[in-house]
Structure 1
Amino acid sequence: MNDDTIPAGHRRDGQGRLVPEANIKPIDRLRDELVRELYAKAEKLHDAIAAFKLEAFSAIDTFAQMSAEEYQVSLGGKKGNITLLSFDGEIRVQRAVAEYIQFDERLQAAKELIDECLHEWTIGARPEVSTLVQDAFRVDAAGKLRTGSILALRRLDITDERWLRAMKAIADAVQVVGSRSYVRFHRRDASGEYQALSLDIAGV
């Protein structure tokens, strides 16, 4: 049953039972009222932040397009990081786009090539490489590969032909599966460092 079917003078408890209000302790009624009041206010704040986020993204996109038109360029899409500064440089607004990636089956080919290299290279000669590579392919607490660690292997200055093929396989295995956009606000403090304006309840 929904709330419309609850008889007058009753409330539903956590187990779905109808309880006469006369049998509910005053402290339990006050707790219920407090929780509902705070949630209602939080819900309005959530909606306001969502509306502001849309407004901010729209304003940034519009300004970026207007700026590009000075050079007779039409921006394709709304993807990419943008940083805007106030005239005095005190306030900074950033739009950041974070991409989520995963690896396809070609990562296994890269791992086989890397294993060949490690098997041939002695531990004594290149211990740092062996440790780095083995750590890169370890999964995190959720059982997922750590993409950042694997991609970092491409920065190693190794010229072995098999290693180079492995690095190409890693690059080819990258698949972008989604992205998320953020807008961040900063103000410069007395020391010249930009401090974030937190819009996260935990960070306020």
Structure 2
Amino acid sequence: MEAVIVEEKPETGVIVMNGREFMTDAKGRLVPLANVSAQDKLEDETVRKIIGYAKELSAQIARFRDHTIGDMNSFDALLAQEYGVFKGGRKGNKTYHSFDGLMRVTLQVADQITFGPQLQIAKTLIDECLNEWSADSRPEIQAIVTRAFNTDQEGKINKSELFMLLRLDIPDDRWNRAMDAIRASMRVTGSKEYVRFHYREKVEDRWMPITIDLANA
């Protein structure tokens, strides 16, 4: 029985079997390279090139983030050791400035929040309120409620809109019970650190962000 010699070329997506070239399609089938259209080959080459750069950049950003937090932690430890001073604000938020006041690094610690079954009780009470109020009144509240309880593609509700509901002052017993239910539903499951970078040309200028987020670049 003839041995099958397989050579894979991940950079091109080509598999060589006993001298013949194939590409794997989305169903896992081996398609002879000669049967793959020039358009599909070009698209595959373009995507592999972009993804290669994206993986390298992602790894570089991860290393940069780790080094940045490590540098700040080392600075904090030095302050604590030398001067007995502990840098940090509420929930561990910290801000660092250059001596000339033109550069700023901020470490923010945000709670990761999920919601328990009480949230459904809150939604029922809110719906009762909205159905009882006249159709023409408080349309802005209806819009906030709709946005707050609409889930995104990951099935998560809109936290910012939900928190906006909590800030509304409405003298209605059921509404207030709904807000209590929202508060009772909140579960802090952990925290995440975010690092922000800003600069300005002169002290009088507004801070300008240094964007590392691809979506906002």
TM bucket, shorter chain: 0.5 to 0.7
Between 1 and 2, higher relative CO (CA 8 Å, sep ≥ 6) is seen in 1
Partner of 2:129: 117
Is 1:192 the counterpart of 2:205? The answer is: yes
TM-score for the superposition, normalised by structure 2: 0.65
Offset, 1:118: 3.5
Q: Deviations over 1:2-57 (max 9, x none)?
A: 62994686644344658699xx9xxx999999987776665444433322211111
Q: Does the CA-based 8 Å contact 2:7-2:17 persist in structure 1?
A: no
Cα separation, 2, equivalents of 1:65 and 1:58: 10
* Structure 1: runs of 5+ lacking an equivalent: none
Is 1:150 the counterpart of 2:162? The answer is: yes
Identity %: 34
**Equivalences for residues 1-204 of structure 1 within 5 A:** 3=8, 6=16, 11-15=21-25, 17=30, 43-67=55-79, 70-71=83-84, 80-123=92-135, 126-128=137-139, 130-132=141-143, 134-142=145-153, 144-189=156-201, 192-200=205-213
Aligned residues: 199
* Structure 2: runs of 5+ lacking an equivalent: 1-5, 10-14
Cα separation, 2, equivalents of 1:102 and 1:80: 21
Offset, 1:63: 2.5
2:92 aligned counterpart, secondary structure: coil
Offset, 1:168: 1.6
1:193 aligned counterpart, secondary structure: coil
Inter-CA distance 153–9: structure 2 relative to 1 (3 Å threshold)? same
Cα separation, 1, equivalents of 2:50 and 2:168: 53
Q: Deviations over 1:68-102 (max 9, x none)?
A: 56456698xxx633221111110111223344323
Q: Does the CA-based 8 Å contact 1:91-1:187 persist in structure 2?
A: yes
Cα separation, 1, equivalents of 2:61 and 2:123: 44
1:175 aligned counterpart, secondary structure: strand
Matching residue's letter, 2:71: A
